[in-house]
Structure 1
Amino acid sequence: MSIAYLGLGTNIEPRVDHLREALRALEQQVGILLKCSSFIETKPWGFISKHNFLNGVACFDTNLQPYDLLEVTEKIEFSMGRTHKSHEGRYEDRTIDIDILIYENIKIESPRLTIPHPRLCQRLFVAIPLAEIAPDLILTPPGMTAKQLSIELKKQKDMEEAPIFNPHNKAEYPPMHTAEHILNGTMNKIYGCGRAFSSHIERTKSKLDYHLAETLTEQDIHDIEKRVNDIIQADLNVWTETVSKTDVTGRFDLTRLPENSSENVRIVHVGDYDECLCVGQHVKSTSEIGHFRISSTRWNNGIQRIVFRLDN
């Protein structure tokens, strides 16, 4: 028998009934229910909705192996009306969501399953109920107990509700700024060149400079445009989180921050496609950006300039 912690959530009424139905099905198909937390109400995470969630965590003693457990939870979700899982940062209202948070001390990283859950340590709506039923459970990463994680995420939430940043007086056009983030993410994914080392963002056109060994070909330009527009059309949620600089050391290049930068930094997420430290203005969804078009390029001595526009 193995111990597994599962996260449950729903934001479609009747929420309590959905959670209870899921727990009954899990008891019948997974194993012995050892503990179940209280249900807490939380705002949607990673997307915008007028419907709040009820979330909880349950601990089971099971004979199922991790992939068998995943198959069972997905079948239960499907039987309760959820036909597909969230993908590439696209979240939506759902009847039931069942996530495998922890399975013994096993670590799995595959396209289908990651254990511990990859966003376990980012989600207060998981940390609070997990700390209720297993306060001394050690989480690796980040090497703290569930109770300690809950306290830390609560501190971060307080910072988000009253963030303090360095002044940002640059007049920006949110669609263009978010398009810049998507282009940066695309260039890094395709060419491994990192983010632009120089940028000039305006309403009508913007330009970014990258370190590239060779100039972009016409096919390269076409592929970049297609990938950026695919992300735009995917209608990904653009959301932010506020953390202290010490929490993101090694995750982002902090050397690009001003010397007098604030202790708190803001991370802008474009779904699960891109994340970047940023204090600028952004759209709420990529579908608000419009059509991305590269209007010109120039390469000189290892520096590739891309000029792009947005068409409605």
Structure 2
Amino acid sequence: MNKVFLLLGANLGSPAQQLAKALIEIESQIGKIEACSSLYKSEAWGVTDQPVFLNQVALISTDLSPLDVLDNIQAIENNLGRVRLSKWGARVIDIDILYFNHDRIQHDRLIVPHPYLPDRRFVLVPLSEIAPSFTHPELGITTLDLLTQCEDNLEVHLYKPNDNDAIQID
């Protein structure tokens, strides 16, 4: 059984609902959800002139190959209304493969571990919640060590749906 860490993100529509729908589809089409982080609110990374994101990391057990997982998550994104207009732009759903077991994958469609993982607090914070001691297969250091060394200074906060600044974007 393969162990896959996925990052889910959304900043358009109703992001919390989109992430919940994505998890249902992931469990239906990819495999069993073994662990799931809390939701985290973060500023946009890369293209910053857009709404804040909600992000979450899930650990999935699957019999699928890496490319089959990729095909399934892209189908889930499309079914939930994802339109790819620009790199790092606003989106109703985004699902990325962070790790696939401890494998290193260099394919024209997929690079694992995710190449930007060490540089993004919005990935490392939820990942550290469910896999603090998971070791990066190329860098040989744990998630918590990656988070400690991360130079990204964008704020990442636990999302509370009843906050005054709860996300609801039309």
Give the TM-score category using the shorter length: 0.7 to 0.9
Structure 1 counterpart SS, 2:92: coil
1:142 aligns with 2:109: no
Unaligned runs of 5+ in 2: 156-170
Distance 1:50 1:113, change over 3 A: closer
Counterpart residue type for residue 126 of structure 1: V
Aligned residue in 2 for 1:29: 29
1:121–1:142 contact (8 Å) kept in structure 2: no
Aligned residue in 2 for 1:98: 95
Question: Equivalents in 2 of 1:143, 1:105: separation in Å?
Answer: 11
How far the C-alpha of 1:85 sits from its partner, in A, is: 7.6
Counterpart residue type for residue 59 of structure 2: C
Alignment identity in percent? 37
Aligned residues: 155
Who wins on radius of gyration, i.e. which is larger?
1
Question: Equivalents in 2 of 1:85, 1:142: separation in Å?
Answer: 32
Question: Equivalents in 2 of 1:64, 1:33: separation in Å?
Answer: 14
Q: Which runs of 4+ in 1 moved over 2 A?
A: 83-86
Matches within 5 A, 1:145-294: 145-153=142-150, 156-158=151-153
Matches within 5 A, 1:8-157: 8-84=8-84, 90-153=87-150, 156-157=151-152
1:105-132 superposed Cα distances (whole Å, 9 cap, x missing partner): 2111122111111111111110111110
Unaligned runs of 5+ in 1: 162-312
Compute the TM-score of the two structures, normalised by the length of structure 1: 0.48
1:28-73 superposed Cα distances (whole Å, 9 cap, x missing partner): 0111100000111111110022300001100000011000000000
Structure 2 counterpart SS, 1:27: helix
2:50–2:89 contact (8 Å) kept in structure 1: no
Question: Equivalents in 2 of 1:71, 1:50: separation in Å?
Answer: 27
**Higher RCO (CA-CA < 8 Å; seq separation 6+):** 2
Question: Equivalents in 2 of 1:26, 1:70: separation in Å?
Answer: 11
How far the C-alpha of 1:81 sits from its partner, in A, is: 1.0
Distance 1:157 1:69, change over 3 A: closer
2:41–2:52 contact (8 Å) kept in structure 1: yes
